[in-house]
A and B are shown apart, each in its own frame.
Chain A
Amino acid sequence: MSQTTTAKISEAAGDPVPSIAGIPAAPITRAPPLAAGAGPLGWARTNLFSSIPSTIVTLVLLILLARWATEFVNWAILHAVWSVPNTATGPDTAACRDAKGIGACWAVISEKYRFILFGRYLYEEQWRPAIVIVLFIGLYVVSAMRQFWRKELILIWITTLTVVGVLMWGGVFGLTYVPQDSWGGLPITLILATFGLACAFPLSILVALGRRATNLPAIRVLCTVYVELIRGVPLITVLFMASVMFPLFMPAGLNPDKLLRAQVAVILFAAAYLAEVVRGGLQTLPKGQYEAADALGLGYWHKTAFIILPQALRLVIPPLVNTFIGFFKDTSLVLIIGLFDLLTAGKVAMADLVWQPYSTEVYLVLAAIYFAFCYVMARYSRGLEQGFSRSTKR
């Protein structure tokens, strides 16, 4: 039976296998048949209308989407008021009042955008915070590109942040000195978020390592208490402590900078959250990686810095980004230290009685700015995640 079967099978197989010196060459490859779901129509059928419930859901959603989209376009573009005339007593918002409910009043943005973006920064000098925003965005872009992931990146960061400081404060190179309390708007948000996360991140790693140090019970308890206490209270109360009550904790006369204090509070808070995320990553890493590093004679810090953390952090990119996004938005709580961050500046801009009825427009613009930053962050992290898994997986 064996002989006949073999013969039948090689006949049936169709592709004879030519062999040279006992090593068979690769058989001729055929392309796969066209899948059922090819072409736009096929795509729609498999992805949108695969079953009756699926078709109903698709249709209902499409109709709803279309209705919302037209309504929005009508309001935001077709019937919108883009600017209003300026009179001696201030802007005349009659046109906006008439359009209320039908069209948007973007005039509030053209009137207030500089205040929203830069807060109470000296009006004539507002090109400086504008440059700072651009610098920050440039810094993010550069840091995001892998070809810049070298030691020089640290140098770039230091230089950029120095330039940011010089631009914001001034007082040198013929720039007017602008005290910190009149900073505001987007630069404040970016400064708090960037410094906050950049400093909280290393701290969170230390805390996470401390929480896992089984042979250091006191340190572990300390880190646990820190994380649980900070996580358990709202950020606003921590900021309240740091901003208004801090002088009560210090000996009289010792009164460090207010922005700095808020910054420290943000860092301490972010670090507690990030530490939990990092700890998750550390827990998932197989023990074998620790042992392999030990067996090579690596010291604790080498092992941690080059073997453990790079892997652990990759595992937790999605929750890390969740936390980053959360904190980028939470910087809006710094009103309590008397700074107008982006969100507060927007709200204050609307305290102007003339513009008070047009909060929707302002809120939309604010939401769009926040969304732009957070969305890019989320997208980038997803790319990063996939890039890592591509390089380390088959």
Chain B
Amino acid sequence: DPSWAQGSGSKTIDDIRARGQLVCGVTAGAAGFSLPDSRGVMRGIDADICRAVAAATLGEADKVRYVPTTVTNRFTALQSGEIDILVRSTTWTLSREANLGLEFAGVYFFDGTGFMVNKSLGVKSSKELNGATICIQPGTSTELAVADYFREHGMKFKPILIQDPAETQNTFISGRCDAYSMDISALASFRFQQGPKKDDYVLLPEVISKEPVGVMVRKGDEKFFDLVRWSMIALLQGEESGVTQANVDQMLDSKDPTIRRMLGLEGDLGKAMGVDNKWAYKILKSVGNFGEIWERNIAPLGISRGINALWTKGGLHYPPPMR
């Protein structure tokens, strides 16, 4: 594409284009977020966001290299330039943004920490968990949230910290832990997957922390930061404006100025960010809008949209105007 020839003014974007690939840090395996299917194709909401950014940057959604990262190496990998963006269920916190030389370009999933217990325990509220043994995945913000919660309520607990989520769940099922604390979305999907046995497990009503899950990039490259942030906004705007993968081509005839600006029919929004004007069109064409991504990846896990709905439907996703 000739517009790339002059250089975008962003080192990261230049590197990505020179490479012809977006390098995207994801998890090694979390169903619904990023998990290779039986054929080895990476699927999930994280993977789709990577593809959306690739579509915006390179024009093709499939030019993504997925790098599975662990909780240990994810920040270092981004810092050292091993990956371009980190889309790995990472909670947006102050210390992460202040200390690491990294920043959050946007939130795609609003989550919170909750508890799940075995029904037979008869526990109704997390306030009854004093003295319980709790399974937690280490290195996550859940760990701190649970500690804070118990401290706040003057209770004690015994943590069991197991790195591998699947092992954590097995441990919980075996009864080694009384409760399993995790992001509510993960707990819900865990319960959903138990099939007929799902009623054996109870999700306690309290949400003990805010967990906005976002996309991380390195600090110091504002152009790329903008591109990532607005790619995510384009997904939401697409949903708000009813632009889907299926109808995006018909929408090219739309009269709605918002849609026309977004799809690059009017104005120079793309050029301003150093990419093709058709960037949002390409995102929606190849990945679909946020609602579609959700339906494709998260809904099968049995997680309801809840606060992740658009603001128009009582949720928290509120795309700023594309002007």
Contact = CB atoms under 8 A, between A and B. Distances in A.
Do these two chains really belong together in a complex?
Answer: yes
A176 to B, nearest CB: 13
Interface in A327-362: 335-336, 338, 340, 344, 347-354, 356-357, 359
Interface string B154-176: 00000000001110011001000
Contact of A114 (B31, B35, B38, B166): B38
B301 interface: yes
Contacts of B66: 120, 181
Given A336-B70, A348-B36, A356 B193 contact: yes
B99 interface: no
Interface stretch (B76-84, B119-127, B202-210, B276-284): B76-84
B31 A351 contact: yes
Nearest to A123: B39
Nearest to B300: A89
A258 B41 CA distance: 21
Contacts of B65: 179, 181
B35 A118 contact: no
A122 interface: yes
Nearest to B167: A359
Contacts, number: 107
B72 interface: yes
A348 B39 contact: no
A184 B40 contact: yes
Contacts of B166: 347, 350-351, 356, 359
Given A338-B69, A351-B30, A122 B165 contact: no
Interface size grouping (class) on chain B: 35 or more
Contacts of A269: none
Interface stretch (A68-76, A154-162, A244-252, A316-324): A244-252
Interface string A107-146: 0000110110011111100000000000000000000000
Interface in B1-58: 21, 28-31, 35-42
B40 A120 contact: yes
Contacts of A118: 40
Contacts of B28: 335, 338, 340, 344, 347-348, 351
Nearest to B65: A181
A354 B110 CA distance: 25
A243 interface: yes
A348 B28 CA distance: 7
B169 A356 contact: yes
A182 B40 contact: yes
Given A240-B73, A244-B82, A354-B193, A122 B30 contact: no
A111 B73 contact: no
A347 B164 contact: yes
A351 B40 CA distance: 13
Contacts of A357: 170, 173
A382 interface: no
B67 interface: yes
A1 interface: no
A244 B68 contact: no
A112 B66 CA distance: 20
A212 to B, nearest CB: 38
A94 B301 contact: no
Given A240-B76, A244-B80, A359-B166, 17 more contacts: A89-B300, A94-B195, A115-B38, A118-B40, A120-B36, A120-B66, A179-B21, A245-B80, A247-B80, A247-B81, A335-B68, A340-B36, A348-B36, A349-B38, A351-B28, A351-B166, A356-B166
26 contacts: A89-B300, A97-B195, A97-B196, A114-B38, A115-B36, A120-B66, A122-B40, A123-B41, A179-B65, A181-B66, A240-B72, A240-B73, A244-B76, A247-B80, A248-B80, A335-B28, A338-B28, A338-B67, A347-B28, A348-B28, A348-B35, A351-B28, A352-B35, A353-B189, A353-B190, A357-B173
Interface of B: 21, 28-31, 35-42, 65-70, 72-73, 76-77, 79-82, 164-166, 169-170, 173, 189-190, 193, 195-197, 300-301
